[in-house]
């Protein structure tokens, strides 16, 4: 059974680096009663997937990024959509390698309770869910 979710935030942005902070800050204002640690996890993950959408979204005059935040059934769900085909997403391997970028999927794997990527109707959607209690 699909949980009943309440939409807390549904915004559309022009993809540029400044929207990362706007998306992160808007999300932190609307997320429900989460511990400080879980709220920080949500903020960080929003930053990562919006940044990914800005950097890897399909170029063109009709570019946009849509951020949707929902809650219900003891969890928060975040979706970030943009037009175009999904880039190759692979579950990250465990690594001790130090690197400056490319941590987004690693963070999703380790901080989100569930996450995924879908592509339908010419849109890519990267989503994650964080349970209120871990």
pLDDT in tens, 112-133: 999 999 988 888 999 999 998 7
93 pLDDT band, cuts 50/70/90, is: low
In this prediction the pTM is: 0.85
Residue 53: enclosing H or E segment and its boundaries? helix 36-56
What is the rounded distance in angstroms from the CA atom of residue 93 to the CA atom of residue 49?
18
So what's the pLDDT on residue 94? 53
- Number of residues that this document lists for the chain: 134
Structurally, what CATH architecture does the domain formed by 6-131 represent? 2-Layer Sandwich (3.30)
Distance CA 96, CA 106 (A): 12
Question: The tokens of 34 are what?
Answer: 């989460």
Work out the average pLDDT over 96-100.
53
Q: Please compute, for residue 117, the number of CA atoms within 13 A of its CA located in the half-sphere on the CB side.
A: 17
pLDDT of residue 55: 84
Question: What are the extents of the domains in the chain?
Answer: 6-131
User: Residue 120's beta-bridge partner residues?
Assistant: 123
Question: Residue 53 class from Cβ within 10 Å (0-12 exposed, 13-18 middle, 19+ buried)?
Answer: buried
Residue 110 three-state SS: helix
The pLDDT-based confidence of 56 (bands split at 50, 70, 90) is: confident
pLDDT at 100 over 80: no
Residue 25, pLDDT > 70, answer yes
For the cut 80, the answer to whether the pLDDT of residue 60 exceeds it is no
Of residues 19, 129, 118, 133, the one with CA closest to residue 67 = 19
Mean pLDDT score, 47-59 = 84
What pLDDT was estimated at residue 67? 96
What is the arrangement of strands in the sheet containing 6-13, beginning at the earlier edge strand? 6-13, 65-72, 75-83, 123-131, 114-120
């Amino acid at each position: 059974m699909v949980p009943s979710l309440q939409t807390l935030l549904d915004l559309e942005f022009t993809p540029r680096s400044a929207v990362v902070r706007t998306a992160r800050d808007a999300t932190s204002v609307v997320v429900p009663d989460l511990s400080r640690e879980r709220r920080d996890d949500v903020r960080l993950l929003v930053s990562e997937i919006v940044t990914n959408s800005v950097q890897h979204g399909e170029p063109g005059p009709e570019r946009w990024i849509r951020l949707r935040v929902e809650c219900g059934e003891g969890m928060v769900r975040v979706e970030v959509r943009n037009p175009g085909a999904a880039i190759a997403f692979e579950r990250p391997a465990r690594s001790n390698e130090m690197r400056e970028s490319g941590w987004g999927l690693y963070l999703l794997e380790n901080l989100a309770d569930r996450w995924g990527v879908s592509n339908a109707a010419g849109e890519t959607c990267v989503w994650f869910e964080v349970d209120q209690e871990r």
